[in-house]
Homo-oligomer: A and B are copies of this chain.
Amino acid sequence: MNIQRNRRSGRRGSGSEAPSRNVSYGRLTNPYPPQSLYSDDQIERLHQAALEVLADPGIRVLLPRAREAYRKAGCIVDDDSMMVRIGADVVAAAIESAPDSIELQASSPEKTIHLGGKSLNFMPVGGPPGFSDLQRGKQTGTRAAAQDFLRLCQHFDVMHVAGPCVELQDLALNQRHLWSKFDHLTLTNKPVFTWARGTPQTMDGFEMIRIVRQVSHEEFRQKQHTYTVINTNSPLQLDIPMLNGLMDFAEYNQVVIITPFTLAGAMAPVTIAGALVLQHAEFLAALTINQLVRPGAPVVYGAFTSNVDMKSGSPAFGTPEYVKASWGAGQLARKLKLPWRSSAPTASNAPDAQGAYETQLSLWGAIQGGANLVAHTAGWLEGGLTASYEKFILDIEVAQMIAEICQPSWFDEAELAISAIREVGPGGHFFGCQHTMERYATAFYKPLVSDWSNFGQWTENGSLTATQRANKLWKQIVADFEPPRQDPAIREELKAYVERRIAEGGALPES
């Protein structure tokens, strides 16, 4: 918020020189009270219902070493069915030990982010197998496509972390994680993502971050240097890679965003309250194994409860049910005193009006729900199967506007402008008055892709839709991109690591 304060202080000057607008969305706080869906009593009942589910039937845990850890903590484990029944006391200890806030380190220290309290952070789309733009249409993901998304992540300060925007399908499975991390660490200086697709890949990721941040193994574990997302296999199942992820990240003290993907009517009950019970139960089970490995390991409460189209079974996003579930999820996260992550998805197949209105509906679920981290803020399309460059730009515009809404609302005698109103008088105009001259250059949000020209001017400029303008914009940003400064020796060391590991056979994802 420092830069914001500087910006505004420029407006206090009595001189008529117009300070240029120098806003920063790099550190955001959401100053508004969160919206609640349920009463406190109802949230308590919902929490208890999740505990009842964990006690009976419990959760299926596919990884033997994880079952062993649950058993040691006093859980009732049946190795034949792989079911683990978790008592309320074990869950309570896990809730108690998990920290209420996290500092997630960036390669550039000023880009380290805070998760917890009233902090607000935006994350790009993560995970699509494909990408699209207006010229090429829908394509299978490539490393080059992923690099362009990383360039966009780095370019916009409202995008607080780098993420796995599209899958590097042109690379062999044993190399993808290496080149993806290489690109994260050379094209951005923001907090970086590490897939939890098995211990060997995870360890490669940690090593590469150590190289860039120049920290020892011990120093690496002292701070949070990377984050991952663990989706449970709803309903009530934790598979081997996700359990290894939960345990590895805990052991290394790195951030796990535990996000059950509870689609009401499909993998979760058809009611919002029921889907939240399942989400909460699965979260608590995953939290427990994570905290059993290392009490105090950093965890984010992730929520991704939406509903399906009951006609086709297709997942729907940006629905009224999605918004309500987000507001309820925020209450559950606050009950546990944990940082929490929401999302801004859409089911739209095109970066069109539906894409815009569904994404923004989801986004208000997150913002009014008090989320600390909004995943899939920019670029998500087609229910997460495609990352769209145009959508990325359109979504950044909305994220920036939300960031502006979260800026402090100044209020003092000068802002009230009584003298200016008297000076201008009835039927006058404020364009030229001193009060305006002192402030006009910094007064308002400047749009990225929105076109505020009149119809005639807009027509002369080619009658471009916002999506067409976004197409020009992202290509220009990528063309002009300069990677952040980095010691060439570090880059060489990183590249050598990747090449050595590939020569050794890389690492396949676990299944």
Given A53-B418, A235-B426, A265-B436, A352–B138 Cβ distance below 8 Å?
A: no
Are the C-beta atoms of B430 and A268 separated by less than 8 Å? Answer: yes
Give min CB distance, A329 to chain B, whole Å.
Answer: 13
A269 closest partner in B (C-beta): B417
Bitwise interface map of A from 408 to 451 toward B, beta carbon under 8 Å scored 1, else 0: 01110011111011101111111100011001110111010111
Determine the chain B residues whose CB is within 8 A of the CB of A49 once the complex forms: 416, 418
Are the C-beta atoms of A265 and B430 separated by less than 8 Å? Answer: yes
Report which residue of A57, A315, A357, A401 has the largest number of chain B beta carbons within 10 angstroms of its beta carbon: A357
Contacts of A299-323 to chain B: CB distance below 8 A: 307-310, 312-316, 319-321, 323
Give min CB distance, A376 to chain B, whole Å.
Answer: 16
Number of A residues with CB within 8 Å of any CB on chain B: 121
Are the C-beta atoms of A443 and B266 separated by less than 8 Å? Answer: no
Are the C-beta atoms of B454 and A314 separated by less than 8 Å? Answer: yes
A438 closest partner in B (C-beta): B270
A351 close to B (CB within 8 Å)? yes
A56 CA to B323 CA in the complex, in Å? 47
A99 close to B (CB within 8 Å)? no
Stretch of A35-43, A200-208, A287-295, A496-504 lying at the B interface: A35-43
Determine the chain B residues whose CB is within 8 A of the CB of A383 once the complex forms: 454
Determine the chain B residues whose CB is within 8 A of the CB of A440 once the complex forms: 265, 270, 310
14 other contacts beyond A352-B466, A356-B357, with CB at 8 A cut-off?
Answer: A83-B426, A265-B431, A271-B416, A271-B417, A271-B435, A273-B415, A274-B416, A309-B444, A323-B401, A328-B409, A353-B466, A355-B466, A357-B394, A358-B450
